[in-house]
Amino acid sequence: MTKADLIEDVSRVVDMTRKESEIIVESIFESIVRSLRMNDKIEIRGFGSFRTRQRKPRIGRNPKTGARVDVPAKKIPYFKPSKELRDLVNTSAPAASNAGEALPSSIPS
């Protein structure tokens, strides 16, 4: 699924224009990125949590020349799915005809 598909699904489910749905989806993504930049943890019950992890500096190698390269420390985003999401993903997949339908009622909205 692409961001355009997600926007299309939102506009269909909530009966809004595509432009209004795009604003909603973009706002959610911007909020998540802003929180991660401030080292905040984002927890969405029944879905999962987003946080950042710190990677230590290390010595890498240039694959073309084999020369040593210093790789600096950096923060990376990390997503941890909830137990509910893992269980939903690991149950038998719905038929292809259900692909455009709303999510099961066990996922909070």
pLDDT in tens, 44-96: 999 999 999 999 999 999 999 999 999 999 999 999 999 999 999 998 766 55
Separation between Cα atoms, residue 78 and residue 51, nearest integer Å: 5
Q: Is residue 69 part of a domain?
A: yes
Range of the domain at 56: 41-90
CATH number, domain of 62, equals 4.10.520.10
Q: What is the pLDDT of residue 109?
A: 47
pLDDT greater at residue 108 or residue 19: 19
> What pTM was estimated for this model as a whole?
0.69
According to DSSP, the β-strands at 74-81 and 68-71 are: unpaired
Number of domains composing the chain = 2
Q: Is residue 97 part of a domain?
A: no
Residue 10: pLDDT above 70? yes
| Other Cβ atoms closer than 10 A to 7 | 19
| Other Cβ atoms closer than 10 A to 31 | 11
Residues 68 and 35 in one domain: no
Which residues are registered as beta bridge partners of 74?
A: 55
